[in-house]
Amino acid sequence: MSVDRVYSEPHLTFSRFNLTWAVLPTYILHSTFTMEDYKPPALPSPFNNTTPPPTLLTQGAEAHLYKTTSLNPSIPAALKIRPSKPYRHPILDRRLTRARITQEARCLAKLVREGVSVPALLALDWEGHGGQEGGWGGAWLMMEWIEGDVVRVALEKWEAWMKKASLDDEQTQAQEARVRALMRKMGAAIGALHKAGVVHGDLTTSNLMLRPVDTNDTNEVGLDGDVVLIDFGLASQSAQDEDRAVDLYVLERAIASTHPRSEGLAEDLIVGYRDSYKGAPSALKRLEDVRLRGRKRSMLG
């Protein structure tokens, strides 16, 4: 069960915040569960005293994502909290939480400096108290709020629209050209990411967003706008072609499994990647090896 089906905030969702049966609370399994029934954990200071309080968007095994404001009530921001794990030893929990939140923050800060399209890092606290006096409550980071749909939602809307629309061959090709252009932009964004020496670690269409742009055609599904990379919880700094190839392979598999109609258009993803990144040839050569290993795993189960 995806948390997207519980919380209705489709324009900012992180794929790692999907609940699995292993960690799903019992009360969430009942069909009568509503947002009002769930009580999120205590927020760290100062968010436990802000007005209006932060809005919980998604909850996963590792982190909670909220919509809040930054300094001014008119400035929205995304708040990612890594709560403490009561089942872990406190010292180990503190070290792991601090290491993971600071690694994510370092990657974001580096990418912003390099001009990669990612949410700007606004604030960071790796020693939060979770609203409990003297208690360890994990860590948090605040990021720029990105409006718009994730690419997954945009492609799902486009595929649903294509099923209903009565288009001739020329119109169909024109629509497919829009998706190809989107794929090239996605490839270019990943190329910029890898050029900066960072690998994402969890590239899916849920971790790519589209900044909305004004359009005069209200009948077409929006596929325009800049592509923004989000959710760097598994990101790391790496110059290894193997890591870059795995990034690309994971996204290829995500497109194939989630967007079957768009799978045949995904070759433009590689075109955009190659055109934007000088180191692409060696990474793409390694990608062939990664694909081969993936096919062998599929055959062997």
What is the DSSP code (8-state) at residue 227? E
Distance CA 43, CA 244 (A): 36
Q: How many of the other CB atoms lie within 10 Å of CB of 43? A: 24
* Edge-to-edge strand list for the sheet holding 72-82: 55-59, 64-70, 72-82, 139-144, 121-125
Distance CA 260, CA 266 (A): 10
User: At 147, is the secondary structure helix, strand, or coil?
Assistant: coil
Active site residue 243: no
What is the DSSP code (8-state) at residue 59? E
Distance CA 269, CA 298 (A): 23
What is the DSSP code (8-state) at residue 100? H
| Catalytic residue selected from 202, 241, 243, 268 | 202
User: Using an 8 Å Cβ cutoff, are 165 and 221 in contact?
Assistant: no
Catalytic residues: 202
